[in-house]
């Protein structure tokens, strides 16, 4: 990610409807699989918002890595200590170090080796441990937001499944997510691509309270739906895997 994207993330991610909604889903999913005493890795921790969220929910034994010194400095501004510089292609921990790994919007970045990264995740995960993954959907949705955050590839659900299955993960669940707002987002992204503006901009920016609350409400509703069934399409893909 570029520096300006990290700055926007640090400034907005604690209250941004997208981040709060997706973290709520991750936490609700993870807490049904593990206790709050287990050792967790936030892979690609960014500016520390996810770690802060989980710590507030009682997960004290949580660690984070990111390949950006800029991101790590923001984590420390939040008072988070268990963070270190590291690369998903070569995770700086010993084999079988973690009971659970959270991987939110990481594998899609430029520079991620989709052959090496899943093997590294498998290596540092304990036997019987869980992986929670979230990645952006549909390569045709690439936009100026993707340029700002240096996207390499967006995925389909089947592509995500193939990546982890061939690395011996056992699938617990896969689903699209951010479905209720998908159509207006589809239209907005297509419009942005047609206009071909030269301005790079991240979607993680200050919004009106109405827009922010709408995003959070839609994701909260979908979190309930996902307890019952998988969603057929959406802007993101969530998946849960077991070693």
**Residues 6+ positions from 232 with CB-CB distance below 8 Å:** 176, 179
Please spell the DSSP secondary structure of 50-102, one letter per residue.
HHHHHHHTT--SEEEEES-HHHHHHHHHTT--SEEE-BTTB-SS-TT-EEEEE
**Distance, CA of 75 to CA of 70 (rounded, Å):** 9
Per residue of the chain (243 residues), what is the pLDDT tens digit?
A: 767 778 888 888 999 999 999 999 999 999 999 999 999 999 999 999 999 999 999 999 999 999 999 999 999 999 999 999 999 999 999 999 999 999 999 999 989 999 999 999 999 999 999 999 999 999 888 776 667 666 788 999 999 999 999 999 999 999 999 999 998 888 877 766 666 555 555 556 677 889 899 999 999 999 999 999 999 999 999 999 999
Cβ atoms of residues 18 and 207 within 8 Å: no
Q: Which helix (H) or strand (E) holds 70?
A: helix 69-77
Q: What is the C-alpha separation between 189 and 102, in angstroms, rounded?
A: 27
* 154 in Cβ contact with 136 (< 8 Å): yes
The dihedral sign for the CA sequence 96, 36, 55, 14: positive
Is the Cβ–Cβ distance between 44 and 150 less than 8 Å?
A: no
Q: Which among 168, 94, 91, 88 has a CA at the least distance from the CA of 135?
A: 88
């Amino acid at each position: 990610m570029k520096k300006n994207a990290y700055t926007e993330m640090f400034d907005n991610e604690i209250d941004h409807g997208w981040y709060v909604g997706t973290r709520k889903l991750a936490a609700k999913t993870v807490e049904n699989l593990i206790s709050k005493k287990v050792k967790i890795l936030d892979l690609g921790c960014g500016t520390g918002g996810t770690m802060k969220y989980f710590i507030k929910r009682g997960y004290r034994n949580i660690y984070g890595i990111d390949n950006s010194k800029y991101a790590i400095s923001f984590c420390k501004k939040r008072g988070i200590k268990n963070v270190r510089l590291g690369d998903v292609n070569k995770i700086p921990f010993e084999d079988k170090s973690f009971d659970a790994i959270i991987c939110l919007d990481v594998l899609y970045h430029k520079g991620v080796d989709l052959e090496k990264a899943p093997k590294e995740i498998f290596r540092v995960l304990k036997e019987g441990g869980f992986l929670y993954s979230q990645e952006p959907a549909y390569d045709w949705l690439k936009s100026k937001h993707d340029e700002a955050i240096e996207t390499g590839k967006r995925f389909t659900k089947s592509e995500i499944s193939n990546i982890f299955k061939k690395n011996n993960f056992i699938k617990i669940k896969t689903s699209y997510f951010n479905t209720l707002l998908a159509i207006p987002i589809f239209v907005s992204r297509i419009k942005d691509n047609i206009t071909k503006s030269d301005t790079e901009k991240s979607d993680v920016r200050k919004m009106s309270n109405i827009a922010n609350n709408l995003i959070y409400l839609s994701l909260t509703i979908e979190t309930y739906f996902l307890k019952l069934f998988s969603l057929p399409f959406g802007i993101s893909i969530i998946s849960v895997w077991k070693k």
